[in-house]
Structure 1
Amino acid sequence: MSIAAYSTYARQLESLVTDVALGRWRRVADDVQHALNGQASAQLRRIVSRADRRTTGSFFTTGGVRQSYEELLARGTAPGGSTMIWDPTCGAGDLLIAGTSQFPIGATPAETLTLWNRRVRGHDLHDPFVAVARMRLVLAVLERHRAVGSDALLVERRWRTAFPRVQVGDGLQALRAAAEGRGFGGRLLLNPPYGMDAALPGCTWSTGRTSLAATFTAQASAAMAPGGRLFAVLPDVLRSGSRYQSWRGQLAEHLKMEEIRPHGLFDNHTDVDVFLLSAVRRRGGHSGAVAWWPPSAVSTDSVIGDHFRVGVGPVVDNRDPHDGPEVPYLTAKELPGQGETGLPLRRRLFGGRLFEPPFVVMRRTSRPGQGAKGGARGTGVLIQGDRPVAVDNHLIVAEPLRGGVASCRELLEVLDGPKVVHWLDERIRCRHLTVTVVRSLPWG
């Protein structure tokens, strides 16, 4: 079902707000807690198909990642702060609710709405999401007052017109407009879509299709006025992927990073690792290196790249022509989980670069923790034989600069060690190892 079907949940929330605004807490108190904590995401999964959620990038910030985000906000916000907050991709309003938890309240719910209406801004492309976000924000106001014993009622006219600056609109365009104006000096809250789209015209850090999350974050950094603060949940590939090195450099030119913290999986239903970012818009230029990785994930002594030539297998089987000599062809599918093996049985016509054994291969596809076929993450396999081998693009190849088989076996021991597994999980939590990361692995 499409996003439009989510309107059914918006109507349920309207009924709930009606009861709460009239003071009927006894029978709906638990419902309010559910509505403020995870229900919006659960209803999205129930009502809207996974395909539509992926197409629109609709994954709400709930559970453990929202709790970590609230902690990030609390560390980066002065108590009782009343600065404006803006979420340009607000969805059902989870980040806005987290942001308002730092706001003071008035004497009555109506007074609090008057205070908050001017300070809460949000955009989303989908009308049902905006409707749900506004109803949940009203519930957050009423719940805050209930918690302190202020149970004044709220007339329907006030809650139906609450949070007028949370509206249907293109958040990316709104960010660009802010960048061309005076800039946004409040707290910018961001959990952008994680899909891919064409880089914007004039983009200096990427070409072709690129991460929408990277595009939104770059635009957010440009949209902020000096002193403005950014709090973001972003896919880990932006922190650790080689492709986004230029993006990280550009961001550091604009922002002073206060905290960069790997989180792990976004949630139990979304197989994407994320990290949390808090930063302040600089008043001047870049003033030093940025620690995108924990100190334990930075190699300071000898690394694998000092001992091996590391690269990616050149064969893209469904694209490269089948011409040239017939050679052994190594793929991840036929590779054992670990240890040593001889020449692959599979053969292929290939006229490109071949590798002379002995060498070590690692699977590029990799998730934090467990590796493929029972091996540790990053486990290698030693290839031996007397013929050159064509290697598939899903494998990383490490050729010894000296030492032959003995060096390869030493590398296998290094890759199987707990130090390397921990280092990898700290350094890169996205689903593909990169040549840069493998070269940087600690040796010995």
Structure 2
Amino acid sequence: MSIAAYGTYARQLETLVTDVASGHWRRVADDVAHALNGQASAELRRTVSRADRRAAGSFFTTGEVRQSYEELLDRSAVSGRTLVIWDPTCGAGDLLIAGTGQFPLGATPAETLTLWNRRVRGHDLYDPFVTVARMRLVLAVLDRHRAVGSDAPLKEHRWRTAFPLLQVGDGLQALREASEGRGFGGRLLLNPPYGMDTALPGCTWSTGRTSLAATFTAHASAALAPGGRLFAVLPDVLRSGSRYRAWRDQLAERLEMEEIRPHGLFDDHTDVDVFLLSAIRRSRGHAGAVAWWPPAAVTTDSTIGDHFRIGVGPVVDNRDPHDGPEVPYLTAKELPGQGEMGLPLRSRRFGGRLIDPPFVVMRRTSRPGQGARGGARGTGVLIQGAQPVAVDNHLIVAEPLASGVTRCRELLKVLDGPKVVHWLDERIRCRHLTVTVVRSLPWG
């Protein structure tokens, strides 16, 4: 199974367009509604394996995230006469359909295509996706005309040649070419691949394997001309992860942020939390601080980092040699959901840094709204005992700066409180807590 299997759905849409363009609405109206609302994504899941979808980075923007995206577009002022939109990773065209929602119609579907053809631009690496995107845009035109009572037959050569600027091609390369030219001054719509790849030569904010979504967004920001706008759906790790601080700084230098809004899960089939971004390209440099997190997630009073030394457990079990003294070894598997425990029964040889009890550990793996084994998200466990402990790197360690067990028990109450749970869900929605985030948690 491969992306080519999606070509069957592309041919089905061409048949549907043939019927609708001929005016045969009565028997296909429901089919059009499905084609414009979620069917393209469902057919992708049905015809293309998850492994192939992940390899291609193909997750179409549908359902609630598309509704939120449309609201984002609606809140941004637009000139209907001059607007041009471009999606460099267009997939099945969901963002382009959302982007044309503010386009004015002509007197007939044919006249609308004449008005829109040069104002809709898109790229994708896969021919079936581009075909599906073009057919869905044609259906969107025909559906809007029917809704206002100005539908008319559309000749086949008109819809088959519609939207010529939707092309099979490398959207990242197209962005790079735009940044080297005059830049793109319209609306750049973006739901990039969410996989990982090697950072490109010349990248100043990352090295080695990095987020493709970050790479696309960085090049999109560079491709905009002053006044051009970016509207993006991005994985939340870019907003909240410590690793992407330099990426955020680079975007802030180029873009004036209009809205940064956490959304939650991309959809029921994709276990990735995302956020929505709208921004405008500056004509000059960075103008001030950017609020990447809601006000509730910005700490101004005392923080956990004022009372504890925060770090990641020193043991990388599959990499660190088993030499040195035999010591108690703490992993996430031994932890209860919350509360206190003594020294772990597991042990290993370890010659690196050991941690003296009492201390508190938190699981690094975390998802919004829930914790492990009945605990709240971010719940800690107090470790006590008379021996130093080797702690696995899947745990975050909080060592008290003073007051020992008393301060650790105070921390357990803080971590289990609703204020911290809400703060974490606002501040970081990716799957791993970070030292920076834990250090910044509000105290008391």
The verdict on a shared fold, with TM-score over 0.5 as the criterion, is: yes
Instruction: Name the counterpart of 1:416.
Output: 416
Aligned-partner SS, 2:334: coil
Instruction: Name the counterpart of 2:94.
Output: 94
Instruction: Name the counterpart of 1:52.
Output: 52
Aligned-partner SS, 2:327: strand
Superposition pairs of residues 294-373 of structure 1, within 5 angstroms:
294-373=294-373
Q: Are 1:22 and 2:27 matched, yes or no?
A: no
**Structure 1 residues 304-332: Cα deviation after superposition (integer angstroms, max 9, x where no partner):** 00000000001111111111110000000
Structure 1 position 172, deviation (Å): 0.2
Aligned-partner SS, 1:23: coil
Provide the C-alpha distance between the structure 2 equivalents of 1:168 and 1:79, rounded to a whole number of angstroms: 28
Provide the C-alpha distance between the structure 2 equivalents of 1:103 and 1:81, rounded to a whole number of angstroms: 8
Instruction: Name the counterpart of 1:287.
Output: 287
Q: Identity percentage over the alignment?
A: 86
Instruction: Name the counterpart of 1:378.
Output: 378
Query: Structure 2 counterpart of 1:99, which letter?
Result: G
Aligned-partner SS, 2:250: helix
Give yes or no for contact 1:368–1:425 (8 Å, CA) kept in 2.
Answer: yes
Aligned-partner SS, 1:402: coil
Aligned-partner SS, 1:284: coil
Aligned-partner SS, 1:333: helix
Provide the C-alpha distance between the structure 2 equivalents of 1:151 and 1:221, rounded to a whole number of angstroms: 39
Aligned-partner SS, 1:55: helix
Aligned-partner SS, 2:296: helix
Instruction: Name the counterpart of 2:246.
Output: 246
Instruction: Name the counterpart of 1:443.
Output: 443
Query: Structure 2 counterpart of 1:408, which letter?
Result: C
**Structure 1 residues 149-190: Cα deviation after superposition (integer angstroms, max 9, x where no partner):** 012110000000100100100000000000000000000000
- Structure 1 gap ranges (5+): none
Aligned residues: 444
**Structure 1 residues 254-282: Cα deviation after superposition (integer angstroms, max 9, x where no partner):** 00000000000000000000000000000
Aligned-partner SS, 1:204: coil
Provide the C-alpha distance between the structure 2 equivalents of 1:217 and 1:95, rounded to a whole number of angstroms: 15
Q: Are 1:272 and 2:272 matched, yes or no?
A: yes
Structure 1 position 79, deviation (Å): 6.3
Superposition pairs of residues 425-436 of structure 1, within 5 angstroms:
425-436=425-436
Instruction: Name the counterpart of 2:404.
Output: 404
Query: Structure 1 counterpart of 2:48, which letter?
Result: V
Q: Are 1:34 and 2:34 matched, yes or no?
A: yes
Instruction: Name the counterpart of 1:155.
Output: 155
Aligned-partner SS, 1:197: strand
Aligned-partner SS, 2:102: coil
Aligned-partner SS, 1:377: coil
**Structure 1 residues 323-378: Cα deviation after superposition (integer angstroms, max 9, x where no partner):** 11100000001111100000000000000010000000000000001100110000
Instruction: Name the counterpart of 2:129.
Output: 129
Provide the C-alpha distance between the structure 2 equivalents of 1:381 and 1:357, rounded to a whole number of angstroms: 12
Query: Structure 1 counterpart of 2:126, which letter?
Result: H
Instruction: Name the counterpart of 1:237.
Output: 237
Structure 1 position 76, deviation (Å): 1.0
Structure 1 position 193, deviation (Å): 0.2
Provide the C-alpha distance between the structure 2 equivalents of 1:81 and 1:87, rounded to a whole number of angstroms: 19
**Structure 1 residues 92-126: Cα deviation after superposition (integer angstroms, max 9, x where no partner):** 00000000011001011111001100000000000
Give yes or no for contact 1:82–1:104 (8 Å, CA) kept in 2.
Answer: no
Provide the C-alpha distance between the structure 2 equivalents of 1:166 and 1:267, rounded to a whole number of angstroms: 26
**Structure 1 residues 11-37: Cα deviation after superposition (integer angstroms, max 9, x where no partner):** 000000000000000000010010000
Provide the C-alpha distance between the structure 2 equivalents of 1:333 and 1:214, rounded to a whole number of angstroms: 33
Give yes or no for contact 1:342–1:385 (8 Å, CA) kept in 2.
Answer: yes
Superposition pairs of residues 214-225 of structure 1, within 5 angstroms:
214-225=214-225
Give yes or no for contact 1:81–1:102 (8 Å, CA) kept in 2.
Answer: no
Superposition pairs of residues 111-130 of structure 1, within 5 angstroms:
111-130=111-130
Query: Structure 1 counterpart of 2:9, which letter?
Result: Y
Query: Structure 2 counterpart of 1:266, which letter?
Result: F
Aligned-partner SS, 1:44: helix
Provide the C-alpha distance between the structure 1 equivalents of 2:436 and 2:105, rounded to a whole number of angstroms: 50
Aligned-partner SS, 2:112: helix
TM-score, normalisation: structure 2:
0.99
Structure 1 runs of 4+ aligned residues shifted over 3 Å read: 79-82
Query: Structure 2 counterpart of 1:83, which letter?
Result: L
Provide the C-alpha distance between the structure 2 equivalents of 1:354 and 1:320, rounded to a whole number of angstroms: 14
**Structure 1 residues 40-82: Cα deviation after superposition (integer angstroms, max 9, x where no partner):** 0000000000010011100000000000000000001326354
Superposition pairs of residues 150-189 of structure 1, within 5 angstroms:
150-189=150-189
Give yes or no for contact 1:230–1:278 (8 Å, CA) kept in 2.
Answer: yes
TM-score, normalisation: structure 1:
0.99
Aligned-partner SS, 1:101: helix
Give yes or no for contact 1:82–1:103 (8 Å, CA) kept in 2.
Answer: no
RMSD over equivalenced CA pairs, Å: 0.6
Instruction: Name the counterpart of 2:394.
Output: 394
Provide the C-alpha distance between the structure 2 equivalents of 1:164 and 1:321, rounded to a whole number of angstroms: 59
Provide the C-alpha distance between the structure 2 equivalents of 1:50 and 1:246, rounded to a whole number of angstroms: 32
Provide the C-alpha distance between the structure 1 equivalents of 2:358 and 2:140, rounded to a whole number of angstroms: 63
